[in-house]
Structures are given as structure tokens and as C-alpha cells.
Amino acid sequence: MIDSLYTIDRGAYPLPAHIARCAQLAMCLEVSSSPKPGNIDRFSDYEDTRYEHFLASASAVYPVIQEAVSCESGVGRLLKSAVTESMRWQKGGNTHFGAFLLLIPFAMAAGELFEEDETFTILQLTESAYRIAKNTTTADSVDFYSCFDDAGVKVNSVDEFDLQSSSAIDELHEKDMSLYKLMDIARGYDIIANEWVTGFKRCARCAELIIDGMNGLESPKLQADINNVTVYAFLKILSENEDTFISTKYDTDTALYVSGRAKEILEEMYNIGEDFNSILSLIKKLDQELLQKKINPGSTADIVIAGLFIALLAGVRF
């Protein structure tokens, strides 16, 4: 399905507005889906960060995504703008940093692809986003680093360029360290960085899960329900990958435990007839456990946002 041809249906609106709305809706759908074990949703908040903070962030970033559609470069500058706008409109802290790292190159890729032809395949979109990532510069890395001071974003630092060091920016310039190269250093312990340097394969996989689920092609009985499909895609991606947001906050064993629990829940569904509703109680139980322990699979949520964005571009409606 990665080679299936999709046509953009933007109606009477300009292409940048259509693409920005797809990104905005993807962020809203992801945070609204429930139960999504460990993460904030419309029924679950953390003490300092609430569901409404994510909605505010999704609304705030609209003009940045719209601008990205018309850009051929400047990923770092756009990322910095996205973080700045997100923080201006809410007080819940870092809500979408990882998602912005995925959405910005995808929005730029969509603008590039659809400028001449409003048809695309998922493979074409990911290849274009990958090329944009590979063409980033040292200036993009500098803007990326500035996000940490601007918004207090907490992600994995790379060993060679300590975020706490005042000389880090000078080192980036001295070694001509593009943002792509920086992500390549972090690929082993940050799943979003890994997506950047391996061609966004998990994002494509997630998009396929969502498209198939909404078309009734994915094996579980999801009833083409956008909430069920999103939660299922979340669990599926989580079951197949160590969530590095958990690894950073806790450790690898904790991340692998969470992925293992997600896999067990899905296997239970397959064993009793692939009825999604039959495992809702198990999902809710895991959700409560992770919320109590404040274990949130944030990197998986970022990939789901990217998957939803691609699926919406491909015409998924509900």
C-alpha cells in the first residue's frame, strides 16, 4: 500500500491551508483518542500538563505549518517557530516537540510534491521528507539547539554536543554539523532521530495502519471508528518499538516492559476473535497503571501524529 496512489482533495482552499489543516487535525485526533495507555487524552491529564494544552499547541502551530509548505529549506528555523508559537499559547510545557520534528519535513515534502501534481504515494512523500532531512545545515542545528533554552524541551542530548555546554554552538559550526548529522548521532537512542535517518518508515507504517483500519482492511474489528483506529495504531507501533521517551525518562527495561504489555494486549485480541472492543478493559487497565506511574509513551504519540497526518492527506475522513 505504500505505493498506492492518493489524490489531494483540498476543495477551493489553497494548498498550504489544506496541508496545515491536516497537520492540525492530526495533532487534535491523537491527543483526543482514548484510552491511549499512559498519555494525556480527553479523559486524562497530568498535574502540570492538560489535554487543553495540547489543543492550544495544535492551534498555535497552524501558521508555521502553512509557511513550511512553501519552504524548500529552513527546517530548524521552522522548528524553532513552531516551539515558540506552541509555548506562547499554553503553559503546559513541551507538548509537541517530537511531532514538530516529523510534521515540518513532511509538510515541506507535501508542498514540494503537490506543487506540480496533486497525487502522491506514501513512498514518494517519505522519500521527499527524507531528502529534505538530509539537506539540512548547521544553521538548522543551531536553531534546533536554541529550542531547548526557549521552551525547556527535554529530549536526549547527543554525547558529542552537550546541551548544557556553552561551547556547543561553536562545536556545531566547527564540525559543520547539520541537523541530519546530529540526528544520525542520536539514532540509537531516540526513535524520532532514527526516523529522520532511516526514511520515516515507522511513520509510513502507522499511516498504512490507519488507512487500512478506516477502510475496514486491518484485521481487528475497528468499525472504521477513528478513535478505535488511532488507539489500535498507537498500540501496534508501541508493541513493535521501544518508546525512547520512556527510555530517557526511566530506562530501557521500563520501555520494553510497556511495549511488551501492548503486545500482550493485541495478542489477546487476536486470540479471542479480533474484536477490538473485547480488549478495551485491558487497555484501560494498562492506561491507569502507566498514568499512576507517570510513564508516558510520548515518542509513540509523535509517530501516530505523523501517521494521522499522512492518512488525512491521503483522504481519510470519518
Phi-psi map region of 294: left, alpha, beta (phi>0 left; psi -120 to 50 alpha): left
Q: Do the Cβ atoms of 171 and 177 come closer than 8 Å? A: yes
On the question of pLDDT at 98 being above 80, the answer is yes
**Percent of the chain, pLDDT > 90?**
83
Interval 238-245 mean pLDDT: 98
Closest by CA position to 15, among listed 160, 114, 106 = 114
On the question of pLDDT at 264 being above 80, the answer is yes
pLDDT attached to residue 161:
62
What is the CA angle 55-230-127, rounded to 5?
90
pLDDT attached to residue 274:
77
Q: Please state, rounded to an integer, the average pLDDT across all residues of the chain.
A: 93
* pLDDT tens sequence across 286-317: 999 999 999 999 999 999 999 999 999 999 99
On the question of pLDDT at 17 being above 90, the answer is yes
Q: Where in the chain is the domain with CATH 1.10.4200?
A: 13-207+300-314
List C-alpha distances in Å: 3 to 126, 165, 191.
11, 45, 24
Q: What is the architecture, at CATH level 2, of domain 13-207+300-314?
A: Orthogonal Bundle (1.10)
* pLDDT tens sequence across 191-228: 999 999 999 999 999 999 999 999 988 777 898 999 99
Q: Do the Cβ atoms of 22 and 8 come closer than 8 Å? A: no
pLDDT attached to residue 160:
61
On the question of pLDDT at 157 being above 60, the answer is no
On the question of pLDDT at 262 being above 90, the answer is yes
**Percent of the chain, pLDDT > 70?**
94
Q: Quick one: DSSP state of residue 72?
A: S
Q: Quick one: DSSP state of residue 279?
A: G
